[in-house]
Structure 1
């Protein structure tokens, strides 16, 4: 009987998977998923019912399910607080956590939680990791599909057993499968203008910024670490628009990130913002040979991400040079809109050469300061969302505590019980149980309601970007089950200030 019940249960579960795939619905999972995880490709959100970020993600995640309904990918979610065995199996420690599961491979999304970013993540994770290109027509088709995405291509004979470069390229593609697209093909599939630029084969090309660049090892035989460093350094366009989710991924670049912040909503000063943006773009694109090795230039349309780095408010237009490895940052002394392009060059070169004072870092004091800052921003966001909700979450417990303390003080001075609170005078522990525990429960419930409050419609609307702007929303990393050892960052001679 039990086997028959299991069969019926699994059959219903599989039918639900098929239904969700056909009609673009988000499937709700339970503990049975561990038995069926290898049956198909899965994009799964691990959520908590009380998580506000999970509530905000819900409409976007439904759009992702609709976008992937014809891709053969099951889009699902699971309550990680209820089915803890499943969440523990996949190492879930925060909410929401989004993973792509295919067979024994598990990829974790670390970037922006937009519809476009999640769909792109699913397509990359699904593979194939190495995408073959057999003809010029197929090459043009793939270029059209990728649009403004950066992609890499190995050019050579993949069947050559002595081709060590291909083996290293395949290993790196496996490690960075959800970071970029990786192709393989011969020189015959390339257009003539691209083919003429290749001096020797086998080689690796990167296509970005409407052009391409060739991997050139320092020695005749390239090492895997050298090829990995080159691919990581080339994974972004010269001057893309990014969001806060992409900054975490840039820690592997080995470069200083030059962040320009402009306000696209400031129509009155549009010319000023455009002029500053064009100056930085000229440095990034026209002087690639000078700055590409040490700097990655990006721009943002709001200052929320840089404010979280500096724990202050950066005016717009503004500029910040950020070291993603050490978490030190540099800011110019004057206003960015008053700087000419030569002033900008002097500033970023001074950051690289250790001539500009660095702030921030990752010391104990900075981590403590950041914890208080994040707590303050969380409290501020509650009050900014609704003053009544803020009063309920923080005002009510404070009022109860104040009344209790006043009653205790009144009893100590006058020997009389105020408001009938003789319980506190008799036993402080009984008073905490009678009054303190309900206050705590009310606070937790109110905070949970605050987290579950849906996102404002204005926050969900995104500004339309110009056609020539490349928006990067972050990527993901493959889960290998082993924690990386913490590496000590060498002192590079920069001036540091806590």
Structure 2
């Protein structure tokens, strides 16, 4: 009796430990190649056991493997600490890296790292860009994913069919597409061709596009209706909103706030009124307080509200002395849409200039950088080790060109305390970043050389519009002792 109980326990444990993820670690290069070559479609994770992101992905990856097994879509993993040759051969330089393989040909995985995202993405990959929809599979197909687009078109309408198929090929990773030319299906779906219906698992559940259907109208239609009216935003779905091309309105509220749903629901009518002009989201202020700060919401006071235009690199925080109520948010959004609100630019106060390097702040950015002087700006963070190492070299550079301050500005800009104005036309994504603008031009040039004094000096003398040679260099040039380094000189 006890033996049978033990065997039952072991069997149960085996079921628990069983995995539908294929482990390619021990199979080596040959086993890996056999697996991907033999698979018409497969997903492979390249991971390291110590990687925190890999550990977070693991349960979602396991669940997805079990679900996708029913669709004959294999999911595999390979430990790059043991199979280094395989991983280096696939160009893996970070963990986890996920790749989709079709008969041995790799493509980057572009879905989310949650179970439903992995399943949805791989199912889309398994289907043609556009699936045939008939009366027999219509109900199943329209609920097969979070967002499904079905075109109901007469069989003779080749123009609409072609536009829909072209759009589907361009966005097959984003949505599930179906095409029906069957009159019985059209009748059952209560449509009049040509018509495209978006079926979705959120909000109103269905949106219709009628009349003339083109790639442009499909793009606008999908952009407006494919995201929820007001959903939570996180790293998993941020790209969807960032690529939507319209401003993003955030409600910052703790996820464990007892009134969270009440606060969010109060803003939904505002979101509905401006649908297609702004996307509204709520975000966990406990996890993403730093993002609130980056939108110039300075006080840790929640709830808070802000609008961000990712494309224009501008931000519009609601005054934190005001409640995040329907009326306050509605008035703020109305003024934003009407262009009555100026973007918020965080800036330090302009300091007294007493060092070899000009201290540039956001409030003076346009004034200083649009003059008749050449300018080199270091965008830095006080905590950045590379910036600290550059500091004495940069100070020396400022001292060397101190005699031509009327022609050249050597400046530094604390990008943690100042916003780079949208007029600059670029974003700073790492520190230190060095940018140069020649006098009389609008173009910023990135400095990509090494951070030695000699290289920085040569870069300035080569790219400056103004004559910035020091008196000693100028004298040496006249005596023929040095080559002409300035970017502005006469040919002899």
Report the CA distance between 1:174 and its aligned residue.
2.2
Shift of 1:43: 1.2
Contact 1:34 1:86 in 2 (8 A): no
Paired residue for 1:329, among 278, 303, 315?
315
Q: Which moved more, 1:346-355 or 1:256-265?
A: 346-355
**Aligned in 2, Cα 1:189/1:246: closer, same or farther, shift over 3 Å?**
same
Provide, for residues 85-127 of structure 1, a one-character-per-residue CA deviation record: whole Å limited to 9, x for no partner.
6556655443212222234765534454222222222222222
TM-superposed CA distance for 1:283, in Å, is 2.1
**Alpha-carbon shift at residue 365 of structure 1 (Å):** 8.8
Shift of 1:344: 0.9
Q: Aligned partners of 2:292, 2:313: CA distance in 1, in Å? A: 8
Q: C-alpha distance in 2, partners of 1:370/1:128?
A: 52
Structure-2 residue corresponding to 1:213: 207
For 1:451, the equivalent position in structure 2 comes to none
Report the counterpart of residue 342 of structure 1 in structure 2: 327
Question: Are 1:280 and 2:272 counterparts?
Answer: no
- Looking at structure 1, the residues matched to 377 and 50 of structure 2 have their Cα atoms a distance apart, in angstroms, of 31
- In the alignment, is the contact (CA less than 8 A) between 1:259 and 1:299 conserved in 2? yes
RCO higher in structure (CA 8 A, sep ≥6): 1
Q: 1:298 aligns with which of 281, 288, 291?
A: 281
* Structure 2 equivalent of residue 184 of structure 1: 179
Work out the CA distance in 2 between the residues paired with 1:64 and 1:370. 43
> Shift in Å at residue 310 of structure 1?
3.6
1:98/1:238 Cα in 2 relative to 1: closer, same or farther (>3 Å)? same
C-alpha deviation, 1:190, in angstroms = 4.3
Query: Is the contact made by 1:307 and 1:313 (CA closer than 8 Å) also made in structure 2?
Result: no
Name structure 2 gaps, 5 residues minimum: 1-17, 347-364, 366-375, 388-420, 426-492
In the TM superposition, 1:67-216 aligns within 5 A as 67-80=67-80, 87=87, 92-103=92-103, 106-135=106-135, 138-146=137-145, 149-157=146-154, 160=156, 163-186=158-181, 188-190=184-186, 195=190, 198=192, 201-208=193-200, 209-215=203-209
Deviation at 1:314, TM superposition (A): 5.3
Structure 1 runs (4+) deviating above 6 angstroms are 363-367, 489-493
Cα pair 2:314 2:422 within 8 Å, conserved:
no
Between structure 1 and structure 2, the one with the greater Rg is: 2
With structure 2 as the length reference, what TM-score do the two structures score? 0.58
Question: Is the 8 Å Cα contact of residues 239 and 296 (structure 1) preserved in structure 2?
Answer: yes
CA shift in 2, pair 1:64/1:212, >3 Å = closer
SS of aligned partner of 2:66: helix
Cα distance in 2, alignment partners of residues 319 and 140 from structure 1: 40
TM-align CA RMSD:
4.0
Larger helix share, 1 or 2: 1
Q: Give the deviation of 1:27 after TM superposition.
A: 1.9
Cα pair 1:257 1:323 within 8 Å, conserved? yes
Q: Secondary structure at the match of 2:236?
A: helix
**C-alpha distance in 1 between matches for 2:217 and 2:33:** 39
Instruction: Determine the C-alpha separation between the residues in 1 that align with 2:115 and 2:314.
Output: 32
Instruction: Report the 3-state secondary structure (helix = DSSP H, G, I; strand = E; otherwise coil) of the residue aligned with 2:249.
Output: strand
User: Which residue number in structure 1 is paired with residue 303 of structure 2?
Assistant: 317
Q: 1:447-466 deviations in whole A, cap 9, x for unaligned?
A: xxxxxxxxxxxxxxxxxxxx
Q: Which residue of 2 aligns with 1:237?
A: 228
1: distance between equivalents of 2:46 and 2:130? 29
Q: Is the 8 A contact 1:318 1:335 kept in 2?
A: no
